[in-house]
Amino acid sequence: MSEGETSSRKWCRSDITAGEPPADEVLARVKHALLQRGYDPVKQMVGYLLSGDPTYITEHEGARAAVSEVERDRLLGELVSFYLREIEGESE
Classify residue 33: in a domain, yes or no. Answer: yes
Q: Based on the structure, what is the number of domains in the chain?
A: 1
Classify residue 83: in a domain, yes or no. Answer: yes
What are the pLDDT digits (tens) for 26-74?
Answer: 999 999 999 999 999 999 999 999 999 999 999 999 999 999 999 999 9
Note whether 81 and 11 are within 8 A (CB): yes
Look up residue 45 and give its amino acid.
M
Classify residue 2: in a domain, yes or no. Answer: no
Classify residue 9: in a domain, yes or no. Answer: no
Classify residue 84: in a domain, yes or no. Answer: yes
Classify residue 16: in a domain, yes or no. Answer: no
**DSSP characters over 59-92:** -GGGHHHHHHTS-HHHHHHHHHHHHHHHHHHHT-
What are the pLDDT digits (tens) for 74-90?
Answer: 999 999 999 999 998 87
Structural domain that includes position 29: 21-90
Residue 14 pLDDT class (50, 70, 90 cuts): very low
Q: What are phi and psi of 60, to 5 degrees?
A: -55, 130
Classify residue 86: in a domain, yes or no. Answer: yes
Classify residue 10: in a domain, yes or no. Answer: no
